[in-house]
Structure 1
Amino acid sequence: MISHQKSSKTLAIGLASLAGFVDALGFLNLGGVFVSFMSGNSTRFAVGVTSELPLKITLIPLGIIALFVAGVMAGRAIRHYFPKRPSTAVMVFISAALTVSSIIHGSRLTLLDLPLMAIAMGAANNVFFREGEVSVGVTYMTGTLVKLGQRLAGKLLGEKEQEWLPYFLLWMGLVAGATLGSFTYTHWGLHALWIGVALCLALTQFCAWIENK
């Protein structure tokens, strides 16, 4: 995160906001299952296995995890096949998935809306990619908070080059997006995803501008 340029940091914060927004919609619609936070779903699945919950309810988090991983795989493949502007190509895929999810919500294909959201969130983690690895995780914040804590401790200890603000802003981006997602869901339900589509399209344009510089 620290080594990225200012424009890339801004894009990362925007993507974290999008992830928080989409995750809040999915969480509220699924009654406590996430579409972008797989650690939480892993715990939900494990607890469900040892509880008296119906098997169908227990398997929902596991299904979302599988879809998320499929999205990660799709995003990685897109980067491979579109090497000139890989991040923009991934953003186009995310925008398309969220748009289709918004269109089919409430239709006969409505059962596919949340799976598409999970796939989109998995793919989002391929936007920032260096040397075969994710360089900035935008849908999960545990690592970000660990780095924030380490940098703050280094700052207090007087160590040099302990820049903590980018990590704090990345986390705040996700929190702000989730707050907006929760607020809009109470008014429009999953139709609020159109706001996420608009944000994603704007971020796609911004990403294209960065890669074209």
Structure 2
Amino acid sequence: MKQPDEVRRKALFDSDARLSWVLAALAGLIGAAAFMHTAGYFVTFMTGNTERAVLGYFHDETDVAVAAALLLGSFLSGVVVSSLCRRHFWSGHPHGPTLLTTACLAAASIIDIVMYEITSSTRIEFVPILFVAFGVGALNTSFVKNGEVSIPLSYVTGTLVKMAQGIERHISGGTYADWLDYFLLYAAFALGAFVGGLLSLMVAGWAMLITATVVCLIVTGYTYLHLDIHGPLTDE
């Protein structure tokens, strides 16, 4: 019979773990796409948006505070809508949230192109970013266990806290399995952000969301392939 540590070490590199790395990298790339060619909007950093929504009023930056609050609302709406869809249509299917994210990115790209034709501005405007934030919120519901998100793909702060606690357990007599899974998830997100940053140097602002949409569509195909090979994720 396999020991718990051996089972956990095996789970570090199983199919679901690999899928979580891919989706975390996607979240990082989308966040970079939204940040690099805008006025600095966060679609993955809800802690920062919360502080902006509160503190913007202290600096007479009401527009910043309102924008941050709207991004928060859009992100939360994405989580709620995707969770409802999971409950009624996508139970156990990892491709559902990524498909919704792809649709949101596609809508954001279309809106951005229309606004580019009107204004000729290479910067991505705020309205498309609301759709992106909605899509990122939806993406975070890809892994659910006991009715709650088990792997928050863009919650980097929580991932780092858990990784640090795992390092302490390793130092106190545990194994590398106590922290490596969190490190790999964090590294995947950071890699996605890095790739998104590189793409922003090569792709014009008006085409950045299109690029992110194409990447997201490819990842959606990967989640379908994951479903075909490994079966649906369970919500147990």
TM-score by length of 2: 0.81
- Residue of 201, 204, 210 corresponding to 1:194: 210
**Deviations 1:52-77 (Å, cap 9, x if unpaired)?**
22x22321101100000111111101
Bigger mean CA deviation after superposition, 24-33 or 91-100:
24-33
More deviation, 24-33/130-139: 24-33
Q: Give the aligned partner of residue 209 of structure 1.
A: 225
107-116 or 162-171, which moves further after superposition? 107-116
SS at match of 2:128: helix
**Unaligned 5+ runs, structure 2:** 1-7, 117-124, 231-236
Q: Does structure 2 retain, via aligned residues, the 8 Å contact 1:11–1:203?
A: no
SS of residue paired to 2:142? coil
Are 2:29 and 1:21 aligned?
yes
The answer to whether structure 1 residue 103 and structure 2 residue 118 are counterparts is no
SS in 2 for 1:203: helix
C-alpha deviation, 1:81, in angstroms: 1.9
Cα separation, 2, equivalents of 1:41 and 1:202: 29
CA distance in 2, matches of 1:78, 1:113: 22
CA contact (8 A) 1:69 1:122 kept: yes
- What are the residue-to-residue correspondences of 1:105-124 with 2, within 5 Å? 105-108=112-115, 112-124=127-139
Of stretches 180-189 and 142-151 in structure 1, the one that deviates more from structure 2 is: 180-189
2:83 corresponds in structure 1 to 76
Residue 106 of structure 1, CA deviation: 2.4
1:207 to 1:163, Cα distance in 2 relative to 1, 3 A = same
Match of 1:44 among 42, 52, 74: 52
- Given that residues 12 and 181 in structure 2 are in contact (C-alpha distance below 8 angstroms), is that contact kept between their aligned partners in structure 1? no
129-138 or 181-190, larger mean C-alpha shift: 181-190
Q: What is the Cα-based RMSD across aligned positions, in Å?
A: 2.2
* Correspondence for 1:10 among 11, 18, 29: 18
For residues 83 and 57 of structure 1, what CA distance do their matches in structure 2 show?
36
The verdict on how the C-alpha distance between 1:172 and 1:4 changes in structure 2, with shifts beyond 3 A counting, is closer
> Aligned partners of 1:111 and 1:32: how far apart in 2?
10
Residue 122 of structure 1 deviates from its aligned partner by: 0.4
**132-141 or 165-174: which moved more?**
165-174
Give the conservation status (yes or no) of the 8 Å contact 2:52–2:64.
no
Q: Which structure has the greater CA radius of gyration?
A: 2
Whole-angstrom distance in 1 between the partners of 2:152 and 2:66 = 26
Q: How many residues align?
A: 211
Corresponding residue to 1:90 among 86, 97, 108 = 97
Inter-CA distance 7–190: structure 2 relative to 1 (3 Å threshold): farther
Are residue 138 (structure 1) and residue 138 (structure 2) matched? no
Q: 2:170 aligns with which of 151, 155, 158?
A: 155
Q: Identify the residue that residue 60 of structure 1 maps to in structure 2.
A: 67
Name the SS for the 2:141 alignment partner: coil
Asked whether the equivalents of residues 80 and 86 of structure 1 are also in contact (C-alpha less than 8 Å), the reply is: no
2:208 maps to amino acid: A
CA drift of 1:104 comes to 2.8
Shift of 1:171: 0.7
